[in-house]
A and B are shown apart, each in its own frame.
Chain A
């Protein structure tokens, strides 16, 4: 069965320092992977997606993620955090054998950014 594990429930960084949000997935086949961000009392916004093309994926707002099959990881990074990056981040997978549009969500990582 497919699953997603976000390794940190909360990450705190200082403004201007790098961000690393970790995500491991479990899948027998090559999955599609996504990162979404949710600001307080807002909907989810797609940051980036991996669908078996380039393993380094660039997204919006300076975020990028690298798909590493050998490590079954899809970590999200940003070189320099901004105050506006403070939000909840979800790593999401859709299994190879698609289940009609179902998404498998990680439990989320709350990112705090200190001035």
Chain B
């Protein structure tokens, strides 16, 4: 099973709301990632977790707060977002962070901030 699942598929939120995105994998992968993707652009890395610890934060604004409760789950907590944060948010996982390890992507959550 090479599946990464993400919920919800779509999310519309106001600028004062708090919401969370959820990502799950059951491949035993020890690295998990959050990406943001704008239309017609490649994904941009936001966060990397390795063995449930945050290892990379690509200078993401604090209104995005990641969490890795266990090795299979990754959350992204959203608070006080701006309209420019509207995008497709992708989760990915890999066996490790070694350069030969391919990343498996979920279907994404389409986020609209109003």
Residues of A near any B CB (own CB < 8 A): 31-32, 34, 36, 41-46, 49, 51, 90, 94-96, 98, 100-103, 105-108
Contact = CB atoms under 8 A, between A and B. Distances in A.
26 contacts: A32-B100, A34-B102, A41-B110, A43-B6, A43-B105, A43-B108, A44-B92, A45-B105, A46-B102, A46-B104, A51-B99, A94-B99, A95-B99, A98-B97, A98-B98, A100-B48, A100-B55, A100-B56, A100-B97, A101-B48, A101-B50, A101-B97, A102-B45, A105-B43, A106-B42, A107-B41
Contact of A44 (B6, B41, B105, B110): B105
A42 B103 CA distance: 15
Contacts of A34: 102
Interface size class of B (residues with CB under 8 A): 20 to 34
Given A43-B105, A49-B102, A101 B33 contact: yes
Given A100-B56, A101-B33, A101-B94, A108 B41 contact: yes
Interface in B71-112: 88, 90, 92, 94, 97-108, 110
Nearest to A97: B99
Contacts of A51: 99-100
Given A100-B97, A101-B33, A42 B42 contact: no
A82 B48 CA distance: 36
Interface string B26-50: 0000010100000011110100101
